[in-house]
A and B are shown apart, each in its own frame.
Chain A
Amino acid sequence: MGALLTDRLPGGAQPVLQARTGRAAVGGDAFDSGMWPLHREAHLGPGAPWRQDPAVMVLAPLSAEDSAHVPFVIDATALAGPVGRIVVTIDYSPFSKALTFHPGRALPFLGFGVKYETAGALRASVQAGPDQIWHVGAAYVSALGGGCSAPAVSHARPDWQRGFGEMRARLWPDSGRLRLCIRHPQDTGLADGIPAHHLTSLALHDAQGAEIARLDLHEPVEENPSFTFLLPPHLAAEPVTLHAQDTMGNRLSGRVEPST
């Protein structure tokens, strides 16, 4: 199961959810179908060389229990060669590009959650190898919808601004895991009377202040988003600082110490 920690739970060595490949990964149609040809041109570049690759593992539940919070893990650690960008797109979403991950000195592994408007595949396009072509994996999720256009539930709470921007995180030096949650409404601007207000970037820096990894974020990321990163042992043994920005110019930051 690659870099997954599933087997740390009793019985987890026999997982009940597994990443799918080929047609199964995109809901039964040909892999190169639906919105993918358009998204590829728009987000990977015109005529960009690509191939479907089982080494890019995208793991998700088969159906969305809550279409406002659909969790994913992308594990591209099995890919050979240096990894550049990882572009995450959603086949049928009013915002087709969810995020771009620049793993930099982190491993090409990312956990996150997105909003889903309707059933479809989420695709991870990983630019890798000596020729830097795009290696693509996907996971199809069935969803009832409303995740993108429904207002953030935090607006229904009168005190939503009170923990706004709060960062919670932990860094595990033994596994290299960094898990981060940010209090942020992530408004799409699609709900009546609520302007778009979402995170635009998140960066990880090492103890010397040099960038480790960076995420460019877009609207489909879930409300109060959470992220999982995977760091090599030397970086996971030292404090990591986190910097985020949003569309209203807010700057959030925090510092996480290694802990067991």
Chain B
Amino acid sequence: MTGFRSLTRRSLVAGAAAATALALPRAVAQAQPRGYDLLPQEVAAGLWMITGAPESFARSNGGAIVNIVLLASAEGAIIIDTGSTARMGAEIRAFADQRLGGVARVINTHHHPDHWFGNIAFADRPILALPATGDLCRRSAPDYAASLYALLGPWMAGTTPTPPGQRIESDELVIGGRTLRLLALSGHSAADLVVQDVQTGVLIAGDLLFLDRAPSFPDADVARWLRALDRLAGLETSGVVPGHGPFHRSGAALAQTRQYLELTRDRLDQAAALGLSPVEAMAAGPAPAFRALGANPEEYIRTVAQRWADHERTALPVIGGL
């Protein structure tokens, strides 16, 4: 009797939903997000990668702009970064559950929301990050959530920020027979974790490396970032997963990220030294070599807004005061 009643209620709900869908204008129905259909590719033995769109956050990409790595281990998958939304996290988890024997651990490379807002799908698993990253996630969560709800709308349904709860304080982790070397760096943000999978030699660089997508600078310290790149250049690797951009087996992301940082720094220094206002520096656009890069010119314009004061301070001497 109970079963029958609930079945009836369920079919009523289903019927109501179907009627609503029919009544919706075509454009509205099409605007409803369906899912990401994330497609992990095995780029090295037991190392699966989901490649993000080389773009900025937009409704057209639902925030699926970041690279995600799943490492197979005897205990289940080790997941590095979880995407921008609960729905992204859920799709990543579904792949791990179905193909990799569940989830052993989750690691967040840094505190920017495209790397950890999918954590909610892993709330029952250990989520690890550098100590400073955990603090920064907790502090910035409300602002990030407000921004992403405004930018992504319905894609954000159910996305409750879930900061990493465990601190990474060693330089090596062994999980289910898989050894990870960990490098605590900074420059893109105050705490950037780099992971090297010892079994394959692949470097998972987080946002210290970008390829064919303009780097983002909201918390950048360019001098530190360049020093971090020096450290990465000294590592032996078989392949690289940048934070944004394709998997590759060359030094392409390292070279391109370095050149982008140096040319952008020099461009803003030059603009400030010539007496340009920040709007003029924005309007001039990115350095010509980087105009066609994914997410530009938007990302470059954001960079001017975020970093202009750093550059102008050195260009303008103190001439008076109180």
Contact = CB atoms under 8 A, between A and B. Distances in A.
Contacts of B305: 61, 64-66, 69, 71
B24 interface: no
B18 interface: no
Interface string B262-300: 000001001100111111111111111001000001001
A15 B286 CA distance: 10
A61 B288 CA distance: 19
Contacts of B313: 168, 181
B283 A170 contact: no
Given A179-B316, A253-B320, A4 B291 contact: no
A169 interface: yes
B274 A6 contact: no
A255 B285 contact: no
Contact of A228 (B277, B297, B309, B315): B277
A5 interface: yes
A17 B319 contact: no
B312 A144 contact: no
A17 B282 contact: yes
A167 B283 contact: no
Nearest to A4: B280
Given A6-B284, A12-B285, A170-B316, A59 B322 contact: no
A16 B287 CA distance: 11
B301 A181 contact: no
B41 to A, nearest CB: 33
A168 B270 contact: no
Nearest to B276: A5
A228 B322 contact: no
Interface in A34-54: none
A220 B275 CA distance: 24
Contacts of A133: none
Given A11-B287, A168-B317, 12 more contacts: A12-B284, A16-B291, A59-B283, A65-B305, A65-B306, A73-B277, A144-B146, A144-B150, A167-B320, A168-B312, A169-B316, A228-B277
Interface of B: 146-147, 150, 267, 270-271, 274-288, 291, 297, 300-302, 305-306, 308-309, 312-313, 315-322
